[in-house]
Structure 1
Amino acid sequence: MRMTDKIALITGAAGGIGLAIAQGFAREGAKVAISDLDLDAAERAAAGIRDAGGEAMAVAIDVTDEAAVDTGFAKVVDAWGRIDVAVANAGIQHIEALDKLSLANWRKVTGVHLDGAFLTTRASLRQMYQQHGGGCILYIGSVHSKLASPLKAPYVAAKHGLLGLCRAVAKEGAAHGVSANVICPGFVRTPLVEKQIPEQARELGISEEEVIRDVMLKDTVDQEFTTLEDISEVAVNLAAFPTAALTGQSVVVSHGWYMQ
């Protein structure tokens, strides 16, 4: 197994992409900490991994709360001694035209995605720098780390920002054995995306079917959604990569929507 004895913490992991990554890590032998704003949901997710034969614990973390992030990381280290892999996955979305967008909603989205990634990164580095072997930090970006779409300005800006944060971590962390990479999924049918479909239909004045066909999947090579399994497999490969040859990079997983 590719991640035997590794300790991994994933934010926003009670469902969707975060849970799929946690399950993939556990199948490959890692102990996984399911962190989420909703502790009950995180407990259920961790129990599911344990029922499948893996090792998992739940931790309540609000990624926009500095003390909560530091406390959550400390709980995992107290339980398991180290953190080898951290995945900054927690995210939200807000659909609205820029000229109507409030500063509060801008800050809400960028706060979770970008401030949350920073606090997750800092807590990770403080632990990884002092342990033997360093570690790996993965960021869940998006095709919107590369491209813009209407009605998603704060999300697009934050996802672009993750590329810069990752590259800075790759430069600073190298001397301590820490690598960093960004996974950039296309549309995955998570609750976050399911919520966007009717919202975009209303904003654009088109049907939900047209949102899927003409907006979300229009530029893919096969008109298919990216799957949770696709993202989980890429995350395992990046987390298990043995050298610093692969750091500071972005891996796009989008059925050809964006090619680089």
Structure 2
Amino acid sequence: MDRLKNKVAIVFGAGPNIGGTIAHFLAREGARVCVTDVKEEAAAAAADFIRERGWEAFGMAGDARRDEDVGRIVAATVERYGRLDIVVNMAGRVHWDDVLNMKRDDWDDSVASFATAGLLATQHGARAMLACGARGSIIHVMSTAAHFGEADGASYCAAKAGLLNFARSAAMDLAHHGIRVNTITPCSMEHQLWTTMRDEMFDPNWVQPERRGFYSRQEYLDQLPLRRFPRAADLAWAAVFLASDESSCMTGSDMAVDAGLRHKYPTWTPGKHDPLDINDYARATRVTRYGEEQELLTELLGQPIDRS
């Protein structure tokens, strides 16, 4: 429980799923944490959750795409705790559209949400680490979109791929200062079953959207060798490792936390050899907040799963 004792962390993007869970696990391992989000209520809720369990945290609202906001958050954290050792960048917004119809504003927002936010978190975070003499760790949460082309996802894929190679370059720039920069790459997450995918999962009248790049949750599950989606806690444990001295000789690395998806042979479909129905999977899924289990997904929705 003391893997991060005496360390100070900032997590950009602190909802109750990935970002909030990472913040919770960092605090649980001994770090003092600033949790920040563009929504003040999200940052406050994550900080309250952590403090209620006896660990140290405070929340701040700020836009990770804005230089002045990131600088203000970093300065406030250092003023409060006297140093900075860990920065986790989880910020970003996704826009879907095909290349021919893509809006320039959506493209610009994707780049700002991921690549520019990554630059600002790294730049301000590294400067603060240098000022306090910390051999720190900077972690960017990626997506399989950084490694593959996805129909209807050009802006998202381009922005994430840009962030991935930015992180690698930043790792080289900061290596001689003893500051490490690494990334974590998940695929589609289990919590999306009860957030962005709940209509698809539980509405028998749901209609597939007109998107060339659309795939059902069953199709996605069939591609996962470990036969499950990654959970927020899986990413949080990876972040704890990369934030700790256990990974002190790692920089420029990308950790795939994706149930084996990226490394399988492309034409192999695990679900054909080890079938698992997505409805059965969902029935056994527990909703989590900040990495703590709540109720079964079916209990949360208050309705049976349609199996037609």
Question: What TM-score results when the alignment is normalised by the length of structure 1?
Answer: 0.92
- Counterpart secondary structure, 2:117: helix
Q: Residue 222 of structure 1: CA displacement? A: 3.8
Contact 2:84 2:134 in 1 (8 A): no
Is the contact between residue 50 and residue 57 of structure 2 (CA under 8 Å) also seen in structure 1? Answer: yes
Deviation at 1:172, TM superposition (A): 1.3
How many angstroms apart in 2 are the aligned matches of 1:243 and 1:252? 15
Could you tell me how far 1:191 is from its partner in structure 2? 5.7
Quote the residue 1:126 is aligned against.
Answer: 127
Question: Which amino acid is 1:160 matched to?
Answer: A
> What SS class does the counterpart of residue 22 from structure 2 fall into?
helix
> Within 5 Å, which residues of 2 pair with 1:97-136?
97-136=98-137
Q: 2:218 aligns with which of 209, 213, 216?
A: 213
Query: What SS does the aligned partner of 1:9 have?
Result: strand
| Residue-pair matches, total | 257
Distance 1:193 1:118, change over 3 A: farther
Q: What are the ranges of 5 or more consecutive residues in structure 2 without an aligned counterpart?
A: 201-206, 265-308
Give the Å deviation of 1:157.
0.9
Following superposition, the deviation at residue 156 of structure 1 comes to 0.8
Is residue 248 from structure 1 mapped to residue 249 from structure 2 by the alignment? Answer: no
Is it true that 1:168 corresponds to 2:175 in the alignment?
Answer: no
Structure 1 unaligned segments of length 5 or more: list them. Answer: none
Amino acid at match of 1:103: R
Distance (Å, rounded) in 1 between the aligned partners of 2:125 and 2:119: 10
**In terms of Rg, which structure is larger?**
2
- Are 1:9 and 2:30 matched, yes or no? no
Assess if the C-alpha contact under 8 Å between 1:95 and 1:196 holds in 2: no
Partner Cα separation in structure 1 for residue 149 and residue 192 of structure 2: 21
For residues 181-229 of structure 1, give each alpha carbon's deviation from its aligned partner in whole angstroms, at most 9, with x where no partner exists: 00001111346994367699312389x9x61112x33421144211011
Measured in 2, the distance between the counterparts of 1:124 and 1:155 equals 24
How far the C-alpha of 1:7 sits from its partner, in A, is 0.3
Q: What is the deviation of 1:164?
A: 1.3
Find runs of 4+ consecutive structure 1 residues off by over 3 angstroms. Answer: 189-194, 196-201, 241-244
Residues 192, 219 of structure 1: alpha-carbon distance in 2 compared, 3 angstrom cutoff: closer
What code does the residue aligned with 1:240 have? Answer: S
Alignment of 1:1-260 (within 5 A): 1-190=2-191, 194-195=195-196, 201-204=208-211, 211-214=216-219, 216-242=220-246, 244-259=248-263
The percent of aligned pairs where both chains have the same amino acid is 29
Tell me, yes or no, if the aligned pair for 2:11 and 2:33 is still in contact at 8 Å: yes
Distance 2:212 2:252 in 1: 40
Once residues 6 and 197 of structure 2 are traced to their aligned partners in structure 1, the CA distance between those partners, rounded to angstroms, is 38
In the alignment, the residues of structure 1 paired with residue 100 and residue 222 of structure 2 have an alpha-carbon distance, to the nearest angstrom, of: 26
Name the aligned partner's letter for residue 203 of structure 1: E
Structure 1 distance, partners of 2:11, 2:75, is 14
| 1:154-194 CA distance string (max 9 Å, x none) | 11111111221111121111121100100001111346994
* TM-score, scaled relative to structure 2: 0.78
Q: 1:205 to 1:178 in 2, by over 3 A?
A: closer
AA of the residue aligned to 1:172: D
Distance in 1 between residues matched to 2:212 and 2:144, nearest whole Å? 24
Distance 1:123 1:192, change over 3 A: farther
AA paired with 1:181? N
